[in-house]
Chain A
Amino acid sequence: MKTAGIVSYGGYVPRYRITPEVIGAVWGNDGAAMGRGLNIRAKSVPGPDEDVITMSVEAARAAMAKVPWVSPKDVGAIYVGSESHPYAVKPSATIVAEAIEAAPVMTAADYEFACKAGTAAMQTCMGLTISEMYKFGMAVGADTSQGAPGDALEYSASAGAAAFLIGTEKPIATINHTLSYTTDTPDFWRREGQRYPSHGGRFTGEPAYFKHVLSCAQLLLKKTGTKPEEYDYAVFHQPNGKFPLRAGKQLGFSEKQIDTGLLVREIGNTYSGAIMVGLCAIFDVAKPGDRIFAVGYGSGAGSDGFDLTVTDEIKELKKGGRTMADMVADAVPLDYATYAKYRGKILMREVA
């Protein structure tokens, strides 16, 4: 059986930022303390013309630009994982497919599994390419996540996207193993028609995030027969900057291993994009032979784990695009009023 891997990658983070201090000031909370508690210094905010589709297109185009040898027509499948698709009915993935010129002889669909729909798309693409049904598949994780005004989520819910081209030919990182851990655990949800998600408060911690991430990670370590210290990098789903560090520590990973992929501190929780943008940041600096351990998490709930090895192909990627570090550094601060306008939180005049 062939081994699938990540052939190329592209990430995208909007340039706008809002800090916990600015949010806290509006609601009479100690935003600085909130930020320290969450280990988040700022969160990204999508601009008024940005949504999951535009960000997915940015990420997918960036991924394709790194591998000019790949014909878009060989991308037989595109899946966009998100919990903030602009349309309830009408796929985001078809627009991405058109934008990278993969359409029309291909398949496309949208995925939803809270914050892990993007990694679910990666696994689907692995199966499709290992089975040689398609040469390449594109897995996108993107979100313009929603946090209700004044809710704790407002301090972290941000925007970002990542696209991975999956295939068996010339991967920059082979996916040696993948493993998922899934239960029905309703820790976070948004019903049809609701604007903002509901969550179970502290229930989202131990019985949800930690149970799934730790179980998935432990099973993956067992399956691979590896130990935490054998990995150069580790990335865990990052709803805030604290959970992944705690999960990593419990598993035996060091802060140094987790640091590179821990973008949440600067850009907030990008939901479906979270571990994928973290992986993008790692690929930006990784060397052949580096081993990466990645575990995502989606509420509802489940974790997808990946054991990756970076190959020599990473040196062959076309240079020139913006790195994740570039995008993280390219930050334009917003005040709350502008943020409210950009996020459509201001009630506008109705059209007569």
Chain B
Amino acid sequence: MRDVAVIGIGETAFGELWDKSFRDLGIEAGLKAIEDSGIMAQDLDAIYVGNMSAGKFIDQEHVSALVADYSGLADAHLPTVRVEGGGACGAIAIGQAAMAIASSKHDIVIVGGAEKMTDVADVRAGEILGATADQEWESVFGATFAGLYAMMARRHMYEHGTTREQMASVAVKNHRNGALNPNAQFQKEITLETVLKSGWVAEPLTVFDCAPLSDGAAAVVMCGMDRARKFTDTPIRLLGSGQASDFLALHDRRDLTTMDATVVAGKRAFHAAGVTPEQVKVAEVHDNFTISEIMAIEDLRFVKKGLGGMATEEGETALNARISVNTSGGLKARGQPVGAVGIAQAVEIVRQLRGEAGKRQVQGAEVGLTHTLGGTGATAVVHLFGRVN
């Protein structure tokens, strides 16, 4: 199996992009990635698309062919694959594309992720996100997506003494990072008080504990490492990947305060990459809610179980601290266009490892990680990327 490299990245601005359609966003991100990579569109062997729910958000299924068509590649007759896995779909798409390249089935592929969430009313968007939980055993009984995460937060507070202030400090940090990201949905710093005093979504989570609804797209161009140098001087190697699943419904899980899927996916990725959590200096983790980031940094073994809140509060995960977490602003501040999330995380890590992150550059980062969740943690995907020296 050959090594795989990311040779091009592209992303749109994130936010409520009222005047841009799903097609506009996907094409913008894709063209930016192709331009960045130095390949020609004709060089592509396949297109992978991460998309959670275009069928419900914009009444459009079959977005894989749509993306090829509207990228001007319809008559190239490329194989196109749309991947769905809740919020993790973009990250899974990267994994699928990597396998195709590693196996030499394909040489050069583009992996795009996009979601257009603001064409439906806010309540409907919440319902669509909630459809990644167990409809039959959770949603039908009235559990909302935020409500399920609130239960995890409550249990984490009970078992590990995590405080609302500690959760709020995740949002404060990510907004601080988002303020340095010109593509972020929220480029404004917030205070702890703002988070704590805003309205409840599901107690103990306030509006500012929750990631927003967003439009946006991101794309990466990947190829075999043996060919990467032909296109770029700074290929970023995909060191290893891990994906895992878990019980769909929260009540079936072993533990509410640990996402076993994250633990397993993390172990698999670290094993495949041959690196340890200590070597990771920059990570993009799935902070759809503030409690999610706290659990993620614990489950990925960046901090001990139960100490994620404290570590965040004490600044260990701030920019250029012990480990820089969510330098892009994360889902919380950069935005959460679901299908694009996993790809946007990879774009940020590649940017950091290339040394192109500007004001939010992490110094001396050799290894970076992305962690992406589907649903309430029934899917987790971890990718590790590294500089090629």
Give residues in A with beta carbon < 8 Å to B.
30, 33, 200-203, 206-207
Contacts and interface: CB of A to CB of B under 8 A. Distances in A.
B16 interface: yes
B19 A202 contact: no
Given A206-B18, A207-B19, A200 B199 contact: no
Q: Binding site of A, secondary structure by majority: helix, strand, loop or mixed?
A: helix
B121 interface: yes
Interface string B180-210: 0000000000000000000100000000000
Nearest to B124: A201
B199 A206 contact: no
A206 B121 contact: no
Most A-side CB within 10 Å, residue of B18, B118, B121, B122: B18
15 contacts: A30-B199, A33-B199, A200-B121, A201-B121, A201-B122, A202-B16, A202-B118, A202-B122, A203-B16, A203-B18, A203-B118, A206-B16, A206-B18, A207-B18, A207-B19
In the complex, which range does the number of interface residues on chain B fall in? under 10
Given A30-B199, A202-B16, 11 more contacts: A33-B199, A201-B121, A201-B122, A202-B118, A202-B122, A203-B16, A203-B18, A203-B118, A206-B16, A206-B18, A207-B19
Q: Top 10 A-B pairs ranked by shortest CB distance?
A: A207-B18, A201-B122, A201-B121, A203-B18, A202-B16, A33-B199, A206-B18, A207-B19, A202-B122, A30-B199
B122 to A, nearest CB: 5
A33 B199 CA distance: 9
A207 B20 CA distance: 12
Contacts of B121: 200-201
Nearest to B16: A202
A189 to B, nearest CB: 13
B114 to A, nearest CB: 19
Contacts of B118: 202-203
B163 to A, nearest CB: 23
Contacts of A201: 121-122
A33 B207 CA distance: 14
B127 to A, nearest CB: 14
Nearest to A187: B18
A203 B199 CA distance: 21
A202 B199 CA distance: 17
B91 to A, nearest CB: 28
- Which of A33, A201, A203 is packed against the most chain B CB atoms within 10 Å? A201
Interface in B1-36: 16, 18-19
Interface in B34-66: none
Interface string B109-130: 0000000001001100000000
A30 B121 CA distance: 22
A351 B204 CA distance: 50
A329 B273 CA distance: 73
B201 to A, nearest CB: 13
A49 B19 CA distance: 44
Contacts of A202: 16, 118, 122
Nearest to B17: A207
Contacts of A203: 16, 18, 118
Nearest to A185: B18
Contacts of B16: 202-203, 206
A206 B185 CA distance: 14
Nearest to A203: B18
Contacts of A33: 199
A103 to B, nearest CB: 44
A207 B16 CA distance: 10
Nearest to A199: B121
A200 B18 CA distance: 11
A185 B19 CA distance: 11
A153 to B, nearest CB: 13
Nearest to B123: A201
Contacts of A200: 121
Contacts of B199: 30, 33
A183 to B, nearest CB: 11
Interface string B75-99: 0000000000000000000000000
A201 B118 CA distance: 10
A6 to B, nearest CB: 36
A182 B310 CA distance: 53
A206 B19 CA distance: 11
A299 to B, nearest CB: 14
A30 B19 CA distance: 33
A206 B122 CA distance: 15
A200 B16 CA distance: 12
Contacts of B19: 207
A30 B18 CA distance: 30
Nearest to A34: B199
Nearest to A211: B18
